[in-house]
C-alpha cells in the first residue's frame, strides 16, 4: 500500500486539501484533481449513484497521480467497508456517527487485529494481490488507512468527548449542512448555535488528542477560508464546489460573454 498523503499531512500538523469528485462517474475527474495539486479526492457514495466499479477506477486514478482516495460510505456497514479497503481505498468516511459506541465499531471495521476486527483476504488488490506478505500488509494498512467519522446530529454533540478520544479515529468531520438542519438553523450562515457546536467539537478534539478536525472550506453555513480553518485547528478540508458546479459556472460565463 502506498503512503497515505493525507495521513502524513495530518501527522505533521498541516492542512490537507481535498475536493469533491462530484457525481461524474469518470476516473479522469480524479486525475484532474491530482494534477491540480490537491491532496485527496473525496469520493461520495452517500449522495451519488456510484457503484463499486466506479470507485475502483477512481482509486486507480488516485494512485496514478499520488493523492489519497477518500470514500464516504452510504452508512455504516462493515462488510461494505471491507470491500472498499480490499480494493485499495485509503480513506473511509462514515456519516452520521452519533455516539462513541458507533465510533468504536467504525474503528474496528477499518483496522486489522489487534487494533480492530477487519476481515482478512489472502490476495486482495490492497495487498498487491498477495505479493505483500500478510503480516506486512496488515501493518501497512493499520498505519496508512485514514478513518473519518462525521458529526452531523445532536446526540453526537452530547457524546463528543468520548467520540473524540476513541482510538483508531484520525479525523472528526463536522457536516455543516446536516448539523445546521439538526440545530434548526439551516440556510443561515454563522448562526450562533452552529458556531457553538463547532467550538464544542473542536474543544473535545483538543482534549482527546487522538484525531484532527475536518470542516469544508467556504461552506454556506460556515464560510471559512484556509487561514481561518487553520486557526480553528482543522487538519483536513474539502474545497467546494464540485466539478459539475465548476463546469456549469464556467460554461455559463462563456455563454454570457459570447452573447454579450
In this predicted model, what pLDDT tens digit does every residue of 147-170 receive, in sequence order?
Answer: 999 999 999 999 999 999 999 999
pLDDT at 230: 95
Residue count (the chain): 260
- Beta carbons within 8 Å of 90's beta carbon, 6+ residues apart: 1, 2, 4, 6, 7, 62, 68, 69, 70, 144, 145, 146
Query: What's the gap between Cα 168 and its chain centre?
Result: 15
- Checking if the pLDDT of 182 tops 90, the result is yes
- 3-state DSSP assignment of residue 42: strand
CA atoms within 13 A on the CB side of 222: 27
Q: Grid cell 495521513 — which residue?
A: 7
Contact call for residues 127 and 158 (beta carbons, < 8 A): no
Catalytic residue check, 47: yes
The CATH code of the domain at 5-259 is 3.20.20.60
User: Does the structure show a pLDDT above 90 at 73?
Assistant: yes
Q: Which of 47, 96, 191, 219 is catalytic?
A: 47
CA dist., res. 88 & res. 144, Å (int): 11
Mean confidence (pLDDT) of the chain: 96
Domain borders along the chain are 5-259
- pTM reported for the whole predicted model: 0.96
Which pLDDT does position 199 carry in this prediction?
96
* Percent of the chain with pLDDT strictly greater than 70: 100
Could you give the CA distance from residue 80 to residue 109 in angstroms, rounded to a whole number? 10
pLDDT class for 90, splitting at 50, 70, 90?
very high
210: pLDDT strictly greater than 90: no
Question: How far, rounded to the nearest angstrom, does the alpha carbon of residue 84 sit from its chain's CA centroid?
Answer: 14
Span 50-74, mean pLDDT? 98
What pLDDT does residue 209 have? 83
CA angle centred on 208, ends 211 and 199, rounded to 5°? 85
What is the tens place of the pLDDT at every residue in 112-147? 999 999 999 879 999 999 999 999 999 999 999 999
Amino acid at each position: 500500500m502506498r503512503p497515505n498523503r493525507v495521513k502524513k499531512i495530518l501527522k505533521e500538523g498541516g492542512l490537507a486539501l481535498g475536493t469533491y469528485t462530484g457525481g461524474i462517474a469518470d476516473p479522469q475527474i480524479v486525475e484532474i484533481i491530482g494534477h491540480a495539486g490537491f491532496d485527496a479526492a473525496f469520493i461520495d457514495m452517500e449522495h451519488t449513484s456510484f457503484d463499486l466499479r466506479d470507485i475502483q477506477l477512481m482509486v486507480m486514478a488516485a494512485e496514478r497521480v499520488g493523492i489519497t482516495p477518500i470514500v464516504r460510505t452510504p452508512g455504516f456497514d462493515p462488510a461494505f467497508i471491507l470491500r472498499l479497503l480490499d480494493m485499495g481505498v485509503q480513506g473511509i468516511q462514515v456519516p452520521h456517527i452519533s455516539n462513541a459506541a458507533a465510533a468504536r465499531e467504525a474503528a474496528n471495521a477499518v483496522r486489522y487485529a489487534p487494533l480492530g476486527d477487519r476481515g482478512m483476504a489472502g490476495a486482495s488488490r490492497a495487498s498487491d494481490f498477495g505479493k505483500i506478505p500478510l503480516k506486512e500488509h496488515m501493518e501497512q494498512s493499520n498505519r496508512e488507512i485514514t478513518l473519518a467519522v462525521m458529526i452531523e446530529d445532536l446526540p453526537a454533540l452530547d457524546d463528543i468527548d468520548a467520540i473524540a478520544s476513541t482510538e483508531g479515529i484520525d479525523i472528526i468531520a463536522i457536516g455543516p449542512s446536516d448539523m445546521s438542519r439538526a440545530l434548526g438553523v439551516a440556510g443561515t450562515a454563522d448562526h450562533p448555535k452552529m458556531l457553538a457546536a463547532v467550538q464544542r467539537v473542536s474543544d473535545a478534539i483538543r482534549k482527546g488528542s487522538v484525531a484532527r478536525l475536518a470542516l469544508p472550506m467556504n461552506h454556506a453555513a460556515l464560510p471559512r477560508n484556509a487561514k481561518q480553518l487553520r486557526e480553528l485547528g482543522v487538519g483536513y478540508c474539502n474545497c467546494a464546489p464540485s466539478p459539475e458546479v465548476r463546469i456549469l459556472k464556467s460554461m455559463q460565463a462563456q455563454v454570457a460573454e459570447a452573447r454579450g
